Structure 1
């Protein structure tokens, strides 16, 4: 029995010894090496983030004036043609002057009579008073005639027997007769209160004013260009009646041309007088650098936008109004801001980070950003000028990861 127990114990010891030898013979696994991630880096620099805001618009003339006559009359001359260039002061059209010239001669004669009366006024104060009475009677008769004519013309006009132009002339004649009557009445009242000399002096002044008005009316029969430019339209014909309500000729100044736009609240923040704009004209396959020349300080309440004007030089008048253009404003955050590649910024948990290079490791740094474009973003805090950051390969990194710099962003370009 004792021999049997000894045999079992020896067998167990031999088995344990064999297992220990086998474990000792098996090699232990080597310690795993840390992974090194290749990356591309760039340097934090000062610069500007360029922003772009674009819209479509049309070119418009710098000046556009619709020219009509100050007096009514028949057009006797219309020497300009569509597309013709005219200088400021050049004759555009003329009206019939016959009636106006007669009015000037009548006013001149009235002035001569008034001056003659003034010379005789020392001995004829009573005569001056009588003349004032006669003038009032004549004015009263003229007013009665004008009222009768106006009423008759009104009836004919309502029946369609006369034109609106003739009706307008009858109304004007009545107004003039009423004015003459009021003046004559006032003159008589003054004559009854003043000496004959004072009355005659007043008559002379009145005659001088009448003559001046008649001459101005005659001058208005010749209509000249108010600006230099091209004839954009001719809406009258020789023999046609012209009036102040109907333009006869339109003149436009096309150098420079204007782009008139309406910008929203967001876009107007970055636009001011002098802001550079790139204006592309698709039909001409041409892009022009222009500047903003006017910005409204108040919003257009109907459009809910701010009117803006951009001036386009057009010295050879090659560009035409109403051409469709595409406009892009280029504004920036300023050349003194820290700017990095937008691709370097990663977001996590609602925060923004970049990986800053420190030796052969990448440190995760939280940053605050500002304005951004499709390529670049402004750094407000978290980095300093000259810092190196990872711009490619950062998605494979974590804070403290080992890195190897493959190349810089400048070299990769």
Structure 2
């Protein structure tokens, strides 16, 4: 009988990992200004000059509005004259009080007369101080007729015209600082699960060619935007060259996490 050799067949189990193609989530939204400022009148008067219109760029401390100054200049002159009178009266009362101090040492004056001179001197000092404060207030009011921009940015709204009467607190311009912007994107409830604060997103706009910015999600809204019917996602980005403008449409893209898919094959 011929010899038989038995061979054991080894069966190996091989696990193959496959991945799906890289996926990206793309959202759309708008650029928004990070800082808005209402420029208001600090003194009442008639608008004499406006130096910017809606859409114009402005720089910090540039004069944007002038209010008619004549009444404020006259008031300053009046207060300066009152100060001069008060200071002259103060010098007179001071000299009289010093003289009375000398006389009382010589027993040539009663204590009551000295006390009255001292009271007059103190009253004159108070009057001169009030006059000085009135001059400073008049100077401040005159300076406030030239209204400066507190920020570098753009005029988004002009609210008055030349010749308009304004009161203290009347809004003149609405300004927006755009050296930093908010990218406000909108995500559906299903897309929210793919996003988290601190996640990187690539941001670009079709209005500005060949310019992309990498930012991180700063805030994720918890309430549905009733107009967009989606949840707001906000990213803060620098905009030093002011290439992006508030209101421009913007796109944001982020890579989604890829889950490996395992399959098993048998090898003989």
Q: Into which bin does the TM-score normalised by the smaller protein fall? A: 0.5 to 0.7
The alignment's TM-score, normalised by the length of structure 2, stands at 0.68
Partner of 1:24: none
Q: Is the 8 A contact 2:35 2:178 kept in 1?
A: yes
Alpha-carbon distance, 1:202 to partner: 1.1
**C-alpha distance in 1 between matches for 2:93 and 2:222:** 64
Partner of 2:159: 235
Alpha-carbon distance, 1:56 to partner: 4.4
Question: Which structure's residues are more often helix, by fraction?
Answer: 1
The counterpart of 1:106, out of the listed 72, 78, 82, is 78
* 243-252 or 198-207, larger mean C-alpha shift: 243-252
**C-alpha distance in 2 between matches for 1:307 and 1:193:** 74
The alignment's TM-score, normalised by the length of structure 1, stands at 0.46
The counterpart of 1:41, out of the listed 1, 16, 22, is 16
Q: Is the 8 A contact 2:196 2:217 kept in 1?
A: no
Q: Deviations over 1:217-269 (max 9, x none)?
A: 000000111112222222221111123433222332323322247999x8699
Give runs of aligned pairs for residues 84-99 of structure 1, distance below 5 A.
84-99=56-71
Partner of 1:375: 259
**C-alpha distance in 2 between matches for 1:41 and 1:262:** 38
Cα pair distance change 1:38/1:285, threshold 3 Å:
farther
Alpha-carbon distance, 1:75 to partner: 0.6
Unaligned runs of 5+ residues in structure 2 are 1-7, 98-114, 226-230
Give runs of aligned pairs for residues 314-329 of structure 1, distance below 5 A.
314-329=239-254
What number of residue pairs does the alignment pair up?
233
**Secondary structure of 2:32 counterpart:** strand
Partner of 1:59: 31
Partner of 2:140: 216
Alignment partner of 1:78 is 2:50 = yes
Taking only aligned residues, the RMSD between alpha carbons, in angstroms, comes to 4.3
**C-alpha distance in 2 between matches for 1:200 and 1:51:** 83
Cα pair distance change 1:281/1:269, threshold 3 Å:
closer
Partner of 2:216: 292
Unaligned runs of 5+ residues in structure 1 are 1-32, 44-49, 126-190, 332-372, 378-390, 405-413
Larger Rg: 1
**Secondary structure of 2:121 counterpart:** helix
